[in-house]
Homo-oligomer: A and B are copies of this chain.
Amino acid sequence: MRVVVPYAAAEPKTRLADALSPAERSAFADEMLADVLAAIRATGREPELLATEPVETDAPVTVDRRPLTEAVNAVLAETDGPVAVVMADLALATPDALARLFDAEGEVLLAPGRGGGTNALVARADDFRVDYHGSSYLDHRRAARAVGADATVVDSHRLATDVDEREDLAEVLIHGGSAPEYPEADANPDPRRTSRARSWLRRAGFDLADDEGRTTVERESGFAPRS
């Protein structure tokens, strides 16, 4: 099975503009990508990047400057056999969570993201195509039925958590990897995987802040990890 990780290399994570500078957003996105690639490898599979421009990484890279939907559908069209598509900002992804997706039975497997997105999927039906605009999760369920498949849904908080906004950073600090200061924060410690995204946030001065409702983040001033 091909495991494709789309990556928008230019100006990533714009919705984190209230928390990180452009250079920081780019560096943080790189760390999340590295975590996702490591988690995929720990399942025994070899990830490949589908990037909007050339990037330096230790995985094979295909450059496709088209929008996400078109680029992914080109991969689906050219591939005989199953394809997995895993978003690059799933900083909480563990090998266990990904294996639940990769190994589930069904022609189309979907891991919904919070807010109606599709954070990861496996397409074993040849004719299945993606559409990432809008509430893609519901659209992908319809698309699966359209090719005679019933989508199987993988219920995972780790895979549902794409890191797009400031409040998502709290999830990375709580659940991301096994950084030494919070060894309790990893349900599935895996020596092959340390959370680079979480460590980066800590170096950048972020810590958990107990707010009125959900736990959020605060940033100590004066920290600026090199980008």
Contacts and interface: CB of A to CB of B under 8 A. Distances in A.
A2 interface: no
Interface residues of A, number: 46
B135 A208 contact: yes
Interface of A: 15, 94, 96-97, 112-117, 133-135, 137-138, 141-142, 145, 151-153, 155-161, 164-165, 167, 170-171, 174-175, 182, 184-185, 187, 208, 210, 212-216
A210 B117 CA distance: 11
A135 B185 contact: no
14 contacts: A94-B155, A97-B155, A114-B171, A114-B214, A115-B170, A116-B170, A116-B215, A134-B210, A134-B215, A138-B185, A151-B187, A156-B156, A156-B157, A157-B157
A157 B114 contact: yes
| Copies of this polypeptide in the complex | 2
Contacts of A212: 15
Top 7 nearest A-B pairs (CB, nearest first) are A115-B214, A116-B215, A153-B187, A157-B160, A141-B184, A134-B210, A135-B215
A38 to B, nearest CB: 18
A174 B116 contact: yes
A8 to B, nearest CB: 14
